[in-house]
Amino acid sequence: MAISFDLTGKRALVTGANTGIGQAIAVALAEAGADIALAGRSAPDETLALIAATGRRAVDLRADLATIAPVKDLVNDAVEALGGLDILVNNAGIIRRNDLADFTEEDWDAVVDTNLKTLFFLSQAAAGVMAAQGSGKIINIASLLSFQGGIRVPSYAAAKSGVAGLTKAMANELAPKGVQVNAIAPGYIATNNTAALQADETRNRQILERIPTGRWGSPEDIAGAAVFLASPASDYVTGHVLAVDGGWLAR
């Protein structure tokens, strides 16, 4: 049997695809043949143009994923716009930094609600569509902090650890219905969100010294893993958290 990474005819919903990792994933899925619905708070103009250049369809579904209110409508809108839904990529997320003693309830709730609660209920809505058709792929974006504690990011570490556990829990329940659920845990990726770390000479050196491959990752490094997990090539992979970190966790 030929191994296929072809996504021709598939329909994907990608959250937080304006820039960085989400954008790279959305474009890579389109290059593999999928049509894409993009969900976020602001217009993903650049991502729309990049997908149009692949010859695939892309639609802009504006949604604030800080709460679960738009979740069911978002899935329904994606199904209506694309004619169905085969792939969900839960990429949208936020981070707040502060010392443990000074961390506020507001910052805790904002991060956990966006990164974990909304992710679950969006997956729940998408899973209903996928289970009914007997197939589908849910890909969650976890983090190295799904495995480690980090520093000054307690709500983010808690939420991303929760994403890892939730990925496994959903995989167990949805596998018999033909739906695979996996997660990607990015390492240090060169994006706008990490620009300050890259510009800090000392911190940048410390990070690179820890990474066996000796470089920051690119959003495209994550996109390749997403195409694999969205494709028929991964049909026997579920409940897995794939670290794409240049060897950081192996060090």
DSSP calls for 79-94? HHHHTS--EEEE----
On whether residue 96 sits in a domain, the answer given is yes
User: 35 with 82: CB under 8 angstroms?
Assistant: yes
Q: Show which residues are catalytic.
A: 156
Instruction: Please give the residue range of the domain that contains residue 235.
Output: 11-190+220-243
On whether residue 158 sits in a domain, the answer given is yes
Closest-CA residue to 103 (of 139, 159, 153)? 153
Look at residue 232 in the predicted model and tell me its pLDDT.
97
Look at residue 67 in the predicted model and tell me its pLDDT.
92
On whether residue 32 sits in a domain, the answer given is yes
Look at residue 3 in the predicted model and tell me its pLDDT.
85
On whether residue 175 sits in a domain, the answer given is yes
On whether residue 200 sits in a domain, the answer given is no
The type of residue at 248 is: W
**DSSP structural state of residue 115:** I
Query: What is the b/e burial string over 199-217, where b = at least 16 CB atoms within 10 angstroms of the residue's CB?
Result: eeeeebeebeeebeeeebb
Look at residue 75 in the predicted model and tell me its pLDDT.
98
User: 12 with 29: CB under 8 angstroms?
Assistant: yes
Identify the helix (H) or strand (E) that includes residue 58.
strand 58-62
On whether residue 123 sits in a domain, the answer given is yes
- Between CA 66 and CA 106, with CA 109 as vertex, the angle to 5 degrees is 105
Residue 157's Cα: distance from chain center in Å? 16
**DSSP structural state of residue 66:** T
C-alpha 41/C-alpha 43 separation (Å) is 7
Closest-CA residue to 135 (of 54, 37, 232)? 232
Residues in the chain, pLDDT under 70: 1
On whether residue 213 sits in a domain, the answer given is no
| Total tally of structural domains belonging to the chain | 1
On whether residue 224 sits in a domain, the answer given is yes
CATH code of the domain containing 170: 3.40.50.720
